[in-house]
Amino acid sequence: MNTRYDVIMIGFGKAGKTLAGKLAKTGKAVALIEKDAKMYGGTCINVGCIPSKRLVTDAANAPKEDFEAQAAYYQNAIAGKQQLTAALRKANYDKLIRAGVTVIDGMASFTDAHHIAVATAEGTLTLEAEQFVINTGSTPVLPDIPGADKSSKVYVSETIMDLAELPKRLTIVGGGYIGLEFASMYANFGSRVTIVQDGPVFLPREDEDMAAAIRKVLEDKGVEIITGAAITGIQDGTLTYETDDASRTLTGDTILLATGRRPNTDGLACEKAGISLTARGGVETDEHLRTSAEGIWAAGDVCGRLQFTYISLDDSRIILDDMAGRSARTINNRGAFSYSVFMDPPFARVGMNEKEAKAAGVEYRVVSMPAMAIPKAKVLRVTEGQLKALLAPDSTILGAELFCAEAHEMINLVKLAMDYGLKAEVLRDFIYTHPTMSESLNDLFAL
């Protein structure tokens, strides 16, 4: 095995594997270090986006009312998810090997700005490179709840997707987007779900009307939402919390801790390479994703900014350009930011909402419509939700919030229009195929 490379990627995430493959095809000697062979392809493929969305899709088609049938269906869904991730893991590994990348299983840590020590099953390797890219992702935040570390019934988002038995009662700690996805999914599978959050306001960053619409859909699925709860302990499947100056208990079969994720810099010894970290433990980078050490970049969740696979992919473009001496592409000019929460139906956003527009003193007007008014929503039998957009006085689109079937696809049209400065009239007058959810933009922007 070589001990010297042109570029070494630390982590098999989206940016790391994309850069590794592209650089290897140009003739560079490239190595990729991954500490866990079960994580080839990164978080998204193995314990994030792909398996969770596969389960979301399966849950939407789960049998209703008969729990035994639901439990059997769930077990098949978990098995199918495991087969999918195994196939994708192999495909990602094989793709890099064919490109000429050396993949090394082991835990990397810097010894200086040009060397790393890699602890492998066979011993420690010392590797040298001119350039490095850190792409080690993020890891779930584990809240300091007494008893949580002693309970076998406590899971995080990465581990619950291998839970063999469908829980009759699931408690989710955390009312953020990850918690909402799993709440919707498990309610559809047949679990009785309760969300417990410490904050007094449900979805505080979203506009009140959209938060209320999302809450209603969840409650219609049987999901109970408890806000303003100070959690005091966990014992087995029982959660203890305080609210309204009273101590209460909530007993369930399984507890999911969905309290966010933090950058994964553990064990990297960044300080030995002169790499600065942020106050929250992320790798500090500039607009080109350069770290404080020359020749070392960081990409994806480990930077401590937006934690999305498509952001990691775009990070790889920025780094590739920077390595080639092109500096036009930065994290500041990649356009409007959009995201989707894969509930049932999904919620997607791009740009400003009303809260943000008011806080920024931006003049705007609102256009909105119920999802029930969309013919394709009736065809799909998914009529819950609403669509909403903010327009500037000149009809420039400031932002959109879509809570309806196919919202995760539709939001990309709106982002495209925003990125290229298209006015709302363009989407209003566009000729869409019929019947589709996207043709609702004719009506949304006609209001």
What is 20-32 written as a DSSP string? HHHHHHTT--EEE
Q: What is the rounded distance in angstroms from the CA atom of residue 17 to the CA atom of residue 24?
A: 11
Compute the chain's Rg from CA coordinates: 23
Number of alpha helices (DSSP H) and beta strands (DSSP E) in the chain:
13, 22
Q: What is the rounded distance in angstroms from the CA atom of residue 206 to the CA atom of residue 401?
A: 9
Tokens of 117: 């020590």
Catalytic residues: 434
Q: Amino acid identity, residue 375? A: P
Beta bridge partners of 423: 396
CB 41 within 8 A of CB 309: no
Quickly tell me which residue has 């594997």 as its tokens: 17
DSSP for residue 253: S
- CB contact burial 215-227 (16+ within 10 A = b; e otherwise): bebbeebebebbb
CB within 8 Å of 326: residues ≥ 6 apart: none
CB 381 within 8 A of CB 221: no
